[in-house]
Amino acid sequence: MDERKEPYIEQQSVEDALYTKSQAQTLDEVQRLAGQVWTDYNVHDPGVTMGDITNHVLEELDYKLGFPLADYCTEQESAFTPERFGLFLPEKVYTTQPVTVEDYRRLFLVNIPDIDDVHLVCDPHTGGYTIRILLSPFRAENEKKICEQVKALYHRYRNLCEFLSGEVEILKPNELEFQAEFEIEPGEDASVVLARLYTTILRYLSGTVRVATPDEATASDISPEEWLEGATGAMRSVVPEQQQTEHELYRQLLMVKGIRSFTTCYLTKDGKPQTNFSQGFGLHIPTNKNELHVKIRQEHETPVLDFITFLNWLETLYQTGRRRMLTQEEQRSKHYWSIPDAAYRDIFIHDSILGDFPACYHLPTVEEQEDSGFVNYLKSYDRIIQQGLEEVKGLPHLLSLEPKDGYNLNKRHLREAKKQYLDFLDKLYGVDSDPTWLAEENSYGETKEDTLRRRMNFLHHVAHLTCNRSRARDILSYKEGNNTPVAKEWFCHLLGLESSDEHIVSNVLPKYNLRIVERRTEKSLVERFDSLLMNERMLNQDKVEPVPYEELAFDEAKKLDEYNRMRAELEYFNENRISGNLFRGGTDLANYWTVQYGPEEYLLLHHNQKQKAWTNLGRADSREQLNTLANILCRFLRELNQACETVYIMEPVLADPARAFRLILVLPSWTQRFNLGNFQMHCEEILQALLPAHLFIETYWLNERKMKKFEACYHQWIRSLTDPHIGNYKSTLLQVIDELLNTDTEKGKLI
């Protein structure tokens, strides 16, 4: 299956051909079954003819099924896309979030071509980073813009509880003068040789940083895992160790192309030669010919030096040495590791074997109807082969993780095959997209198809989630979508929730003009009498029936119509209030009952299992109408509960450096699942496992009223971290949030 095949059947030797082997086995088996009764191998015999035809078909089928797997995952008029099937290129899987100072340094050197070196210091007590950059002498952007690029890149890759201390600083090293007398080889251009010398000195003083591409890894037989270790992308910076001495630099200058010998060679500061460059120096680049302090000889003569040519070559050589052009945006989409060379194969049509038999058999055409056993047998053979080819044709949809391919799982064998493939991806990436505790707490009626779709969505993002698990949100881009801490993305994708940090759960119920009213723990006297009356006078076994499950619409527009119908026909929703008991307990269809109240009158009741109370939701003239309304309400409440579930990950250190390495997790407690102590425990465990081990985590579960206040403050606080108009309020907003969380709230407890 892994070898490439030509689009034609290659002729094989007779003894190696599949047909020859199959035909020999067929005749041997027929002879074994017949014993001494049948020994006629003439072609007119039906057994020989049928064996010959079917074995030819099997040989053709073998050819059709012998292409590489990637070919079968390529549809007509489309290219093979590995990501569609949860398969990713090495740069998507083996790259990692920067962790150490050196990781961040490589990140900046690879992605910002206008800097020559970066010096980073991390305060181990606060997690704050100080960044100082050495600019290229041939930078294309101004200093302010380069600093903004560094700042933006840092925040894009920032880890949780890390922050930038102050602004990005620009290093201004003392510049050395190059003074030398040397001889160049005959035929060399003095301007070019001098540019090579200056380039060598510049690169040596700046650390000899070079941007390398994976092409070099391929040439050196370096594995993708080794090449991408500690990197954030396919390219990486190469920074060799240097002694930073004049002797080491002098040896490099002697190797410059075109140099024959040096008479003198110095790098001076204030006229004094320097022998050690470890404290950091730059090189003065002359702006005119008079600033050059070199004497050049070529065959006992002084060659002509063109200053403009020297400057042009110097910039070109310096830029090429860093391979800056390869860091441009259009180059980042290049695939350095090959994708299988896949092609669509039009092999899914099977011609019936009825047409392969000689005319003397008088067999009908495929379209003609005939009920003879022999014809039915041949048609069954055709049907099995055609069904097999159809399964192969459906392989792209079966293995796909895209949402559009998650709605063809109505058949059991497809669901089982899909589950096997998702289990394989789990093992491949070392994750669990369907933990046991989540299946046991299936409070929202998740079907097997729903579970597969949820897992597909999680595994579609698995490369991003596993490589960047500790990444924080980019506080500079608070207005942009898809700007969420990766740990939150993991948690939400795992539970099938909306992962955007801009999704405000307090707005879910108001969107439908609803608000939750939480009942007191002790029912009022009126409520107790109502439930007792309903229980004693109305709920006789002969009048009460459970609500059966009904298939409802999937289309969003039709679902909205069903919702509007439910609001209009159930008297309970004449007001915009819904009890917390119904909001949570109404997600279980088993809690709905219909009761016959009169000859042609029926009521829809909801049974609160926890408080043993009954609620009348509305009446109708038929059970069927109420059953449909109950199914609509149940699905609607499941979707509302799920839409109200999320987690907020807050970093107090961004406003208060004294609160280093602390995280605040805030979750809602008013939904069915998030109201259960056991489910809360599992949520806290999964979040603890996802977050870096050195962080201290405080977890809060808020009711709807407090969550509304928290979300209002949280989004203002995020904005205050970078908005100069309200930047002075970030500490005040953090204090308000602290007071909100710690007033009548127990950490990690349900309120």
Q: What is the pLDDT of residue 326?
A: 44
Lowest model confidence (mean pLDDT) among 44-58, 324-338, 443-457, 593-607: 324-338
Provide mean pLDDT across the span 26-35.
77
Q: What is the pLDDT of residue 521?
A: 56
Res 28 pLDDT > 90: no
Is residue 78 very low, low, confident or very high in pLDDT (cuts 50, 70, 90)? confident
Provide mean pLDDT across the span 3-28.
70
H helices within 323-432, ranges in order?
Answer: 373-393, 395-399, 412-429
Res 1 pLDDT > 70: no
Amino acid sitting at position 359 = A
* Alpha-carbon gap, residue 619 to 621, rounded angstroms: 7
Lowest model confidence (mean pLDDT) among 243-252, 490-499, 539-548: 539-548
Is residue 328 very low, low, confident or very high in pLDDT (cuts 50, 70, 90)? very low
Res 549 pLDDT > 70: yes
Provide mean pLDDT across the span 633-642.
94
Contact 459, 402 (CB under 8 A): no
Packing angle of the helix pair 307-322, 190-205 (nearest 10 deg) = 40
Q: What is the pLDDT of residue 667?
A: 96
pTM of the model: 0.85
pLDDT tens digits, one per residue of 101-151: 988 988 888 888 888 888 999 999 999 999 999 888 887 778 899 999 999
DSSP string, 482-523: S---HHHHHHHHHHT----TT--GGGHHHHTT-EEEPPPSSP
pLDDT tens digits, one per residue of 199-216: 999 888 887 666 666 666
pLDDT tens digits, one per residue of 673-710: 999 999 999 999 999 999 999 999 999 999 999 999 99
Provide mean pLDDT across the span 622-640.
93
pLDDT tens digits, one per residue of 584-630: 999 999 999 998 887 888 989 898 877 777 888 889 999 999 999 99
Provide mean pLDDT across the span 365-391.
84
Provide mean pLDDT across the span 470-478.
88
More confident residue, 487 or 4: 487
Is residue 39 very low, low, confident or very high in pLDDT (cuts 50, 70, 90)? low
More confident residue, 410 or 297: 297
Task: List the chain domain ranges.
Answer: 18-76+356-395, 399-495, 515-643, 646-742
Q: What is the pLDDT of residue 373?
A: 81
Q: What is the pLDDT of residue 37?
A: 65
Classify 161 in phi/psi space as left (phi over 0), alpha (psi -120 to 50) or beta.
left
More confident residue, 239 or 263: 263
* Alpha-carbon gap, residue 130 to 171, rounded angstroms: 12
* Alpha-carbon gap, residue 97 to 511, rounded angstroms: 38
Lowest model confidence (mean pLDDT) among 99-108, 335-344, 449-458: 335-344
Mean confidence (pLDDT) of the chain: 84
